[in-house]
Every structure is written in structure tokens, then in C-alpha cells.
Chains A and B, each alone.
Chain A
Amino acid sequence: MVEQNKNSKNTIKEITYRVLKASLKAILIYVIYVLVSPMLVPLAELVPDLMSSIESFALIFVALMFLSDLTQDTIFQYFFNTARQIYIIGYLLLSMGNGVMSLSYDNLSLTVNLTIFYGIAVLLSLLGLARSILQAIDYMGKKAENEISFQPIQKI
């Protein structure tokens, strides 16, 4: 009974720690976003929907990161990490289109070819995705190893 109480106390402590850690990390990312976003104002003047687009991206990114931290040391952590990387790649590919950003004002039109930027960002996200998958494989490998090592050796 005492052992059970101790276990549940530890679980509550662990969950509180994880929630706290995930929240602090999310808040930190949000603070960085708040500090960096004014620097993007010159770009936002050129691209009308840039700030709202970045805001929605940051929101989902932070939510997936929060869930990943919350499920730390479980296989779900890697699911959420992989989901986050896939989300970044999908977001980049959808916003990229043909990689050319065109803006028109009066009879003035501006065209900027962002293909190289998008290409680098997608490649970095692919690296992140590969890392998440490797982490998941590593986790499952270690788990299987542990299960085998805990099995009692049967005497014939």
C-alpha cells in the first residue's frame, strides 16, 4: 500500500515536472517569436499576409513541441517530433508554390525568386525528419533490448 502511494506520488511529480518543462519551453519559444517578429516588419510591409501566416505556423509548431515534451520518454514523443517536421515540410511546400513571390502595387510589379531559400529550408526539415525517425528507431531498439534482458533465463 505504501509502495503504491509512493508510486502514484512519483507519477504526479513526474507529470507536473513534464508539464512545467513543456510550458516553460513553449513560453521561451513564444518570447523568442515576440522578440524576433518586429524584425520581420520590413518584410511584412511587402507581403501582406506574412505576419498572420507566421503566427499560425508558430502556434501549431509550439503546440506540437509542447505535446512532444509532455510525452517525453515514450514513443509518442517521436510521433509528435515527426509530425512537427512533416508539418514544417508541408507548410514550406504549400507556401512555396513555384518558389516565386510576386507582388503588385499600382502598375509596379515585384518578383522575387525564393526557390533557393525554400530549397534549403526543406532540406533542413528533411534532416530533422530523418533525426526524428532515427530517434524513434533507437528508442524502440533500446526498449526491445531492455525487454529481452529482463526476461528470466529458463533452466532445462
Chain B
Amino acid sequence: MKVPIRMLGIATSVFWVLLITFIILAAYSVTDLRFDIDEPELRVDPDGQLIFNLPLNIDNGGYYSLREFHITTLFSNAEGLEISWAHTLVPVIPSGEITRINHNVPLNIEEIYQNDDNYLFEDNDLQVSLSVGLNFAEVLPSQISTNFTFPWGAPFSNFNLGQPSINMFNLTHSIISVPMSYDNHAFYDVMGSIDVGLYDDGYSLLSETQELINTPQQSAYSENMELIVSNNSSLDNIQDGYFNIYFSTLMFEHGPLVIPYG
């Protein structure tokens, strides 16, 4: 009986020492881990898709390699509706190595504007849920998660149609001039066209026009658009009418936006 008891004692002690050593080394390895998150950026890829890019540098100065390192990002709008998500997996980050990860989240702009057109006309925030998980020292699954907001600049911020003015064009037609302005606060240039239709109070199309636009990011647009209306149209009918506006750019299409005349 004495020998098995002694062997059991020795084995238990050895395993305890190994376990405690492992815990202490793991604790020290945590202090030697460096996560550097660079400034996230939005860029447009060659296919015209908007990409949220989060560059990460991981300096694993610890004694153990990191397995199954993964980042998951979920974008949602102010109402909590999911817009986009992405998952990046790095199978192994060896001990003593620096690994650079580019976590890219494609953002479907059309879907964002379809779900909530406030993102088209008002600067807003996108809700971001970020979670980073890894298998530390190969046996310790860990996860860090956080929520933050990401500022979203509207491409047609402060969109406004000014007071229309009516002038005679010729004997049969008049010209209606409407000042149109907006600020492009988006992370991309707005290139495309704005189609405007003028309707009377009986929902009949009186005139339409197309304005070509090319507004670089962080700049303002201000132009007068002109609509030619037949003099047969009653001016009163126009006063109670409305504009139907369609936006068509390289990245998205949206409409109609209905704005009452005047």
C-alpha cells in the first residue's frame, strides 16, 4: 500500500507544480501582449462598395501562441436593425511575432438608405458591436466585446429646395427656377444625377429635369434647377403641387423624395 500512496503523492505534487507554473507563465504572457488598433477608415473599393477597414497590430510577446484569433463586427442603425457584419479569422499568431490584420466590413449603402433615409439627409451615427476572441495559451478561450458608435456623414446633408421663382420663357412656356443645395458630408464623392419632377395637386406631371452632380466629399453644392412649364398650367395648381426627386449616383439610387412646392 505504501508504494502506490507514495506514487500518487508524487504524481499529484508534480501536476500541481506544472499547473501553477503554467498559470504564472500565462499571467505573464498576458502582460506581454500588445494590441494596437489604428484609426478605422472608410474607403470605396474598385467595385464601388464601401468598406469599413479596421487595421490591427498584434504583438504576441508572451510565451504561448494565440489560436483562433477572430474579430466580428456588426453594424446596425439607430433602431438596432442589422446593416452589415463581417468576421475575420487568424488561425495562429505564434509566440514572439507581430501580426497585422486588416479587418474589412463591406457596407451596403443602398440598404442603409433604404432602411432609414435619415442616413441620406442627416449626419448620424452607426452602432458598432465589436468582439475579439482568441484561444489564449491554446487552452484558455477568451473574448472581449465592446459597443461604440461610428459617425456617419450624410451625402445630401441639409438638402434644401429654395423658394421657386416663375419667369416667362416664351409666349407658350414659363420657366420655374428652384435653388437646390446640399452639403456632401459622406466619406465618398457623390457623382450622378438628380431627377426632379414637378407635379400639380392632381398628381399630373407638369415638367421634369435632370441635374448632373459631381460633389466631392466634404463640399457643398448649390445650383438653380430650371423646369419649363406650359403656360396652360394653372399657377394655383402648381402652388399646391409638389416635387418628386430621385437620386441616382454611382453608389446608390434613392427616391422618390417628395417636397411640397414652395
Contacts and interface: CB of A to CB of B under 8 A. Distances in A.
Contact of A116 (B28, B31, B140): B140
B27 A42 contact: yes
B23 interface: yes
Contacts of A40: 24, 27
A131 B5 contact: yes
* A contact face: mostly helix, strand, loop, or mixed: helix
A109 B8 contact: no
Interface in B1-41: 1-2, 4-5, 8-9, 11-12, 15-16, 19, 23-24, 27-28, 30-31
Contact of A127 (B2, B8, B28): B8
Nearest to A41: B27
A108 B144 contact: yes
B221 interface: no
Contacts of B148: 107
A121 B1 CA distance: 25
A117 B140 CA distance: 8
Interface in A112-156: 112-114, 116-117, 120-121, 124, 127-128, 130-131, 134-135, 137-138, 141
> 8 tightest CB-CB pairs across the interface, nearest first?
A113-B141, A138-B1, A112-B142, A131-B8, A111-B143, A127-B12, A108-B146, A43-B27
Interface of B: 1-2, 4-5, 8-9, 11-12, 15-16, 19, 23-24, 27-28, 30-31, 136, 139-148
